[in-house]
């Protein structure tokens, strides 16, 4: 997976670009109603002819533009779209003997269709080292298992209660995973648990959401906004723009946004 980001970095730097890592934008700077730059957590500011936000629209308009009333177009978008849940992720390292020969790379576990959308019900499983063994140390496999989870279920816990809840939830999931990987619990070598709080913190996504989903049935993807916004000079990109969630979709969004800005700049 990291290869995709690394290739994008190579391309961007080749074109004269520069990436500031670990630089959290705290505010989009406006002058006369126009986006003219950003301020990052260190206090440093950057000015630009165009500003593009890859944060969700909720984060962009509610957190990065705190003094600006929510534009009408964004109010409409918020009425049409809601936040899908976040995920609970288990990243496991197991002894290779745990995974029987002929095991498939991807699985979906769901015992009760009526609970399909409930937290912890549908379990998505991937064992990437079956396709790419070098990702793990010799004689080991990586298992990634994730299931929908809401931020509300992980809030208001003391650090100790939070850790305990992670451990208990992980143990239930490991138990279910033994349908695919028998003896998993005994052959487990490493375990990391990510919650909706992890998604919120490390991806800067409100409530750790996976992304926007329609509030009601809409006539196709074209109701998703494109890259321009109601604020001159500010563009949005990523999964809260057309065509929505998923790597292919956000790659298209990035391409479309670059094209839009190139045209707007007269390049």
Ligand X SMILES: Cc1cc2nc3c(=O)[nH]c(=O)nc-3n(C[C@H](O)[C@H](O)[C@H](O)COP(=O)(O)OP(=O)(O)OC[C@H]3O[C@@H](n4cnc5c(N)ncnc54)[C@H](O)[C@@H]3O)c2cc1C
Assess 256 for contact with ligand X (CB under 6 A).
Answer: no
| Of positions 234, 238, 257, 261, contacts ligand X by CB under 6 A | 238
| Of positions 128, 133, 211, 243, contacts ligand X by CB under 6 A | 211
For 42, other C-beta atoms within 10 Å of its C-beta total 11
Assess 210 for contact with ligand X (CB under 6 A).
Answer: yes
* Cβ-count burial 62-74 (b if 16+ within 10 Å, e if not): ebbbeebeeeeeb
Handedness of CA 108, 148, 134, 184 (dihedral sign): negative
Whose CA is closest to 35, among 266, 203, 236? Answer: 236
Assess 58 for contact with ligand X (CB under 6 A).
Answer: no
Assess 28 for contact with ligand X (CB under 6 A).
Answer: no
Spatial separation of the C-alpha atoms in residues 187 and 169, rounded to whole Å? 18
According to DSSP, the residues that pair with 194 across neighbouring strands are: 89
Spatial separation of the C-alpha atoms in residues 253 and 191, rounded to whole Å? 34
> Considering beta carbons, is residue 183 or 245 the nearer one to ligand X?
245
Residue nearest to ligand X (CB): 238
User: Is the CB of residue 233 less than 8 Å from the CB of residue 35?
Assistant: yes
| Of positions 123, 142, 181, 239, contacts ligand X by CB under 6 A | 239
Assess 146 for contact with ligand X (CB under 6 A).
Answer: yes
Minimum distance from residue 249 beta carbon to ligand X (Å): 7
| Of positions 35, 89, 119, 261, contacts ligand X by CB under 6 A | 89
Assess 203 for contact with ligand X (CB under 6 A).
Answer: yes
Residues binding ligand X (CB under 6 A): 24-25, 54-55, 59, 87, 89, 146, 203-205, 210-211, 238-239, 245-248, 250
């Amino acid at each position: 997976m990291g290869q995709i980001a690394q290739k994008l970095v190579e391309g961007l730097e080749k074109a004269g670009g520069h990436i500031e890592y670990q630089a959290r934008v705290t505010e989009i700077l406006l002058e006369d109603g126009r986006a003219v730059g950003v301020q990052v957590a260190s206090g440093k500011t950057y000015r630009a002819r165009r500003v593009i936000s890859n944060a969700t629209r909720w984060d962009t308009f509610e957190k990065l533009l705190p003094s600006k009333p929510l534009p009408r177009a964004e109010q409409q978008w918020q009425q049409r779209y809601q936040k899908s849940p976040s995920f609970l992720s288990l990243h496991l390292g197991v002894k290779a003997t745990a995974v029987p020969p002929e095991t498939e790379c991807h699985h979906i576990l769901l015992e009760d269709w009526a609970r399909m959308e409930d937290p912890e019900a549908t379990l998505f499983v991937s064992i990437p080292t079956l396709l790419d063994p070098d990702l793990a140390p010799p004689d080991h496999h990586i298992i990634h298992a994730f299931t929908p989870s809401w931020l509300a279920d992980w809030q208001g816990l003391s650090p100790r209660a939070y850790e305990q809840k992670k451990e208990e939830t992980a143990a239930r999931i490991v138990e279910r995973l033994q349908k695919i990987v028998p003896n998993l619990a005994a052959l487990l070598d490493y375990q990391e648990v990510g919650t909706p709080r992890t998604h919120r913190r490390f991806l800067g996504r409100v409530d750790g959401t996976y992304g926007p989903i329609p509030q009601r049935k809409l006539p196709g993807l074209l109701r998703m906004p494109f890259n321009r916004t109601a604020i001159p000079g500010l563009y949005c990109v990523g999964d809260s723009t057309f065509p929505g969630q998923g790597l292919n979709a956000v790659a298209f969004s990035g391409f479309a946004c670059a094209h839009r800005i190139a045209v707007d700049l007269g390049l």
